[in-house]
Structure formats: C-alpha cells, structure tokens
C-alpha cells in the first residue's frame, strides 16, 4: 500500500476528517461511483473525490510508488494539479486553487502569485478561523501547511506539465481544456 493509498484510507475512515476536507472542496463521498475516466493517451483514471460544483479529482495509474492527481472540472477543463495525493491535498487546503487558476493570465507565474495573495486576503476576511482549520486538518492528515504563494508556484508547475497522460477526456470523448484561465483579475472592479 502506497502513502497515497494510506492517506485516502485515513480520510475515508474518519468522518470528521472527511467532513473537514469536504469544506475545502475535496469530498470523498462525491466521487462518481462506477464512472469510467480516460486520459487522452488512453490510460484509465480513477475517481477519488468530487467537489460541490461537479468537478472530480482523479488518480493516474501508479508510477514509481506515486499516483499523480488530475482534476476534471464541470465546465470542460482538466489537467494535472499535483504529483501525488499529499501534494494535491496541501494545495486544496492551503490555496483557493481553482480561483488562482481562473485568474492566472493563461498560466503566468507572477499573475498567479498576485491572485493568490488577493484571494487569501479575501478568504481570511470571510473565514477568520482559516488558519486554525488548515492547521488542524493538515495535522490530522500528516501534511504541511504551505504558504499560498508557494502553493501557487507549485500548482502552476503541475498544470504546465499536463500532457496526454494527465488530460482527461470529457463526456463526448474530447480532450478537456486547460485549467489555466485567461483572466488576470475579476472583471467587475478588479481586486478589492
């Protein structure tokens, strides 16, 4: 059993941990049962979790004891988000990662860093207990709490490495679009 398998087993066996993680957008109870996912290269992808907007977290086949994590969004976007489950969960817990990608300027590292900072300030304003929640969940899973700017850089590198093995096919059998969004800031008035 790999570290990732043990980590997923830990989440599935603890309702408190699973519930806390679901509040960050990684819900093991939303993994579509029996769904058959494939990558552009034809490799099978395994659904491990979902999130409230309909996106699905997928595991790639094991390579060298690691299973990369791919995300397939409900709007037809998809790609690699981390080299393994632990890194993916650190990103999910520590970064408003989907919004950082939306406001990535097509994958520009500096734009993503700036977006991560703005989004973190907004999150801290709206969710004052976020530091405590992150620390508690990271400790329960044996993960690190990584600064958002570092997570944004790590996420950018992962998405940029998306290749045929990490690009899911959509319901029509077509490759998903990139996870990088073209915006650099919100259209209605910019960042607060």
Dump pLDDT digits (tens) for 171-180: 889 999 999 9
Segment 151-188, tens digit of pLDDT: 999 999 999 999 999 999 988 899 999 999 999 988 77
CA nearest to 176, candidates 166, 186, 185: 166
pLDDT for the residue 171: 84
For residue 152, the number of C-alpha atoms closer than 13 Å in the C-beta half-sphere is 25
SS3 content of the chain, % helix, strand, coil (to 5): 40, 15, 40
Q: What is the pLDDT of residues 5-54, one digit of tens each?
A: 899 999 999 999 999 999 999 999 998 877 789 999 999 999 999 999 99
**Structure token digits, residue 111:** 């734009």
Distance CA 119, CA 135 (A): 19
pLDDT at 137 over 90: yes
Contact assessment for residue 43 and residue 163, using Cβ atoms and an 8 Å cutoff: no
Q: Tell how many helices (H) and how many strands (E) occur in the chain.
A: 7, 5
Beta bridge partners of 77: 177
* pLDDT tens by residue, 59-108: 999 888 899 999 999 999 999 999 999 999 999 999 999 999 999 999 99
Residue 1 has pLDDT above 80, yes or no: no
């Amino acid at each position: 059993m790999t570290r990732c398998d043990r980590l997923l087993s830990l989440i599935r066996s603890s309702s408190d941990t699973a519930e806390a993680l679901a509040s960050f957008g990684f819900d093991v109870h939303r993994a579509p049962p029996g769904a058959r996912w494939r990558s552009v290269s034809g490799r099978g992808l395994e659904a491990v979790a979902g999130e409230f907007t309909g996106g699905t977290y997928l595991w790639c086949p094991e390579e060298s004891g690691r299973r990369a994590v791919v995300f397939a969004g409900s709007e037809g976007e998809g790609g690699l988000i981390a080299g393994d489950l632990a890194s993916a969960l650190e990103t999910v817990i520590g970064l408003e990662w989907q919004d950082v990608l939306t406001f990535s300027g097509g994958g520009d590292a500096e734009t993503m860093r700036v977006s991560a900072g703005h989004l973190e300030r907004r999150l801290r304003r709206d969710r004052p207990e976020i530091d405590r929640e992150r620390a508690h969940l990271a400790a329960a899973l044996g993960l690190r709490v990584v600064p958002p700017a570092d997570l944004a850089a790590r996420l950018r590198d992962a998405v940029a490495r998306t290749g045929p093995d990490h690009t899911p096919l959509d319901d029509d059998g077509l490759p998903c679009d990139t996870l990088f969004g073209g915006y650099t800031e919100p259209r209605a008035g910019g960042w607060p």
